[in-house]
Amino acid sequence: MSETYYVTTPIYYVNDVPHIGHAYTTIAADVLARFKRMDGYKVHFLTGTDEHGQKIERAAQAKGEKPIELADRVVERFKTLWSRLNISYDDFIRTSEDRHKRSVHRLFEIVKDKGDIHLGEYEDWYCVHDETFFTQTQLENGNCPMCGRSVEKLKEESYFFKMSAYQERLVAHIEQNPEFIQPTTRRNEILSFVKEGLRDLSISRTSFSWGIPVPGDPRHVIYVWFDALTNYLSALDYFDDPDGTGAFWPADVHLIGKDILRHHAVYWPTFLLSAGIGLPKKVFAHGWWTVEGQKMSKSLNNFVDPDPVAETYGVDQLRYFLLREIPFGQDGDFSISALKGRINSDLANDLGNLLNRFVSMNAKYFEGKIGEPQEKGEGDAELEAGCGRALEALRTNMDGVAFNRALIEIWELISQANKYIDRSAPWTLNKEGRTERLGSVMYAIAETLRIAAMLVYPFMPESADKMWRQLGLETEIADARYDPDAGWGGLPAGTVTVKGDPLFPRID
Ligand code: MSP
């Protein structure tokens, strides 16, 4: 039986339509999912929408519709975008679904039976935008420390979760598992936050109704973060099908943005500890994108819609740019000039050109036919070793969620192959009539391109498929497996390469 791999994105609020920040995490998760499938794992890739809570209720009111109507509409926007961006999710969970509500009730009841839920009164501050509670001292200049918006004073009856009881176990877990929270700087922030002391967490509200009722006390709805975080279990049908999809738990990685790390690295693990459920193996918090040097905001109205960007510059170009431009844990700036720069240099010049050079030469010298390599020569062994190295580096970097490093190392191979062509000078071999050596050089380049297609596939599935076709391969690249298909020599002799359109047209 193959090993399993469970990767998740945050579930997105439905009060706003998708923007580049949402696309970022979802593309990243897709890359991990596609990589792990190609590496032989049984993968479950989950995304979805977060539909309850005061923020959604108010957004719907403002638009004069019911919350579920708003949700139904926006969910379609997300699904359309994900299909446009080639997101290969296995499941899409909506928190308004019955399967989810059932699981939230189950988790609530398990925690309650454990003695970790009690009724009290909440009196402090609340940020509706972030759906998060704050004490007076946590506020910054009287505003929300997360988003800077104004906060509301709450005084209402509430159920509390005994989060304080799990402080020590959480500290121990973080200390014993350095991979649990990544990147390390964020891990350290969480560790010191937890060490300062955990207060009990308010986990229900009474002043609005759009949510899942507290079992046995329908005056209360369950706090939207308790509700939302449970999606990672409910989509697996964890409580009812523990040996089926439930067996994907614990998650291998929750990908999230840095703003929601505390919810994922403090609230979520303490709920799970209370319920006696295993903790996710890794929570990775990525940075935030600014746009042309500015924060995306309603007032600037500068949210980048990924759809027209993909339309103009290409889906794979956008996917590549987002993951190559900045290390995953850091903030970065999205600009059209940087996007064009990456397309013209890395994609058109390096990778596109390599394929194009090869296919043209092979057509000219051998009418496209690839033969058995007959005469090994200088650089062949290094190229073969380069392919093996790039695959090993990809494995390491995917486990470390280091997309930009993975791409840099693949591009080292591409540059090595371009240099191999220059050094072996097929045009001279041709002129000198050294047909056997020329055929072997063509084979080595074809083989490197075939393996490179498999390496870039998780990032740029459509382009990898085009490479595969131009190389004359008739199988589906999605069905290829690194082991054994990325081994040197897998390219059958007799394959006929096919000239095609440039992989990545230059942008002027
Ligand atoms: N519904 C919650 C998540 C619940 S998960 C159990 C939520 N939703 S959200 O729609 O507001 O945000 C989803 C994600 O988008 C977050 O991970 C957030 O970091 C990310 N981003 C929002 N703006 C972003 C950028 N400008 N750049 C990168 N990511 C950004 O939070």
Residue 141, amino acid: N
Residue 108 confidence (pLDDT) above 80:
yes
List residues bridging with 222 in a β-sheet: 204
State the CATH number of the domain containing residue 422: 1.10.730.10
User: Atom 29 of ligand 1 has which residue's CA nearest to it?
Assistant: 21
> Same domain, yes or no, for 163 and 275?
yes
Residue 421 confidence (pLDDT) above 70:
yes
Query: Does 69 map to a domain?
Result: yes
Count of CB atoms situated within 10 Å of the CB of 357: 16
> Same domain, yes or no, for 106 and 238?
yes
Q: How many domains does the chain have?
A: 2
Query: Average pLDDT in the 397-407 region?
Result: 98
Task: Judge if the upstream peptide bond of residue 183 is cis by omega within 30 degrees of 0.
Answer: yes
User: CB of 109 within 8 A of CB of 119?
Assistant: no
pLDDT in tens, 326-359: 999 999 999 999 999 999 999 999 999 999 999 9
Rounded to the nearest angstrom, the distance between the alpha carbon of 256 and the centre of ligand 1 is 7
- The per-residue pLDDT for 413 is 98
- The per-residue pLDDT for 299 is 85
| Confidence bin at 455 (pLDDT 50/70/90) | very high
Instruction: Establish whether residue 12 lines the binding site of ligand 1, counting it when its CB lies within 6 angstroms of any ligand atom.
Output: yes
User: Atom 10 of ligand 1 has which residue's CA nearest to it?
Assistant: 12
> Same domain, yes or no, for 263 and 362?
no
| Maximum alpha-carbon separation in the chain | 89
Which strands make up the sheet holding 217-222, listed edge to edge? Answer: 204-205, 217-222, 213-214
- The per-residue pLDDT for 10 is 98
> Same domain, yes or no, for 145 and 268?
yes
- The per-residue pLDDT for 424 is 97
> Same domain, yes or no, for 339 and 279?
no
Query: Does 326 map to a domain?
Result: no
Query: Does 323 map to a domain?
Result: no
> Same domain, yes or no, for 123 and 239?
yes
What phi and psi, each to the nearest 5 degrees, are found at residue 388? -65, -40
- The per-residue pLDDT for 1 is 60
Task: Out of 255, 287, 319, pick the residue that ends a domain.
Answer: 287
Rounded-to-integer distance, Cα 259 and Cα 183, Å: 13
Here the tokens at position 399 are 């486990």
Rounded-to-integer distance, Cα 508 and Cα 445, Å: 29
Rounded to the nearest angstrom, the distance between the alpha carbon of 434 and the centre of ligand 1 is 59
pLDDT in tens, 139-168: 999 999 999 999 999 999 999 999 999 999
Residue showing tokens 């486990």: 399
Query: Does 407 map to a domain?
Result: yes
> Same domain, yes or no, for 177 and 279?
yes
Query: Does 299 map to a domain?
Result: no
Query: Does 324 map to a domain?
Result: no
Task: Out of 252, 287, 322, pick the residue that ends a domain.
Answer: 287
What is residue 212's three-state secondary structure?
coil
Angle 424-408-489 (CA atoms, 0-180°, nearest 5)? 45
- The per-residue pLDDT for 308 is 97
> Same domain, yes or no, for 95 and 233?
yes
Rounded-to-integer distance, Cα 116 and Cα 80, Å: 41
User: Atom 5 of ligand 1 has which residue's CA nearest to it?
Assistant: 10
- The per-residue pLDDT for 2 is 82
State the CATH number of the domain containing residue 126: 3.40.50.620
Percent of the chain whose predicted confidence (pLDDT) is above 70: 100
Percent of the chain whose predicted confidence (pLDDT) is above 90: 98
Average pLDDT, the chain: 97
User: Atom 21 of ligand 1 has which residue's CA nearest to it?
Assistant: 21
The CA-to-CA distance between both ends of the chain, in Å, stands at: 50
> Same domain, yes or no, for 270 and 411?
no
Strands (E), 179-319: 181-182, 201-202, 204-205, 213-214, 217-222, 253-257, 283-286, 289-291, 294-295
- The per-residue pLDDT for 214 is 98
Query: Does 29 map to a domain?
Result: yes
Instruction: Establish whether residue 257 lines the binding site of ligand 1, counting it when its CB lies within 6 angstroms of any ligand atom.
Output: yes
- The per-residue pLDDT for 298 is 85
Count of CB atoms situated within 10 Å of the CB of 140: 10
Rounded to the nearest angstrom, the distance between the alpha carbon of 394 and the centre of ligand 1 is 27
Query: Does 319 map to a domain?
Result: no
Domain that holds residue 473: 335-485
pLDDT in tens, 75-84: 999 999 999 9
Q: How buried is residue 483: exposed, middle or buried, by Cβ count under 10 Å (0-12/13-18/19+)?
A: exposed
> Same domain, yes or no, for 184 and 269?
yes
Query: Average pLDDT in the 297-305 region?
Result: 91
Query: Average pLDDT in the 44-50 region?
Result: 98
Rounded to the nearest angstrom, the distance between the alpha carbon of 328 and the centre of ligand 1 is 15
| Predicted TM-score (pTM) of this structure | 0.97
> Same domain, yes or no, for 341 and 269?
no
Count of CB atoms situated within 10 Å of the CB of 27: 24
pLDDT in tens, 469-492: 999 999 999 999 999 999 999 999
Query: Which atom of ligand 1 sits closest to the CA of residue 16?
Result: 10
> Same domain, yes or no, for 248 and 341?
no
Rounded to the nearest angstrom, the distance between the alpha carbon of 200 and the centre of ligand 1 is 25
Instruction: Establish whether residue 22 lines the binding site of ligand 1, counting it when its CB lies within 6 angstroms of any ligand atom.
Output: yes
Here the tokens at position 82 are 């994900």
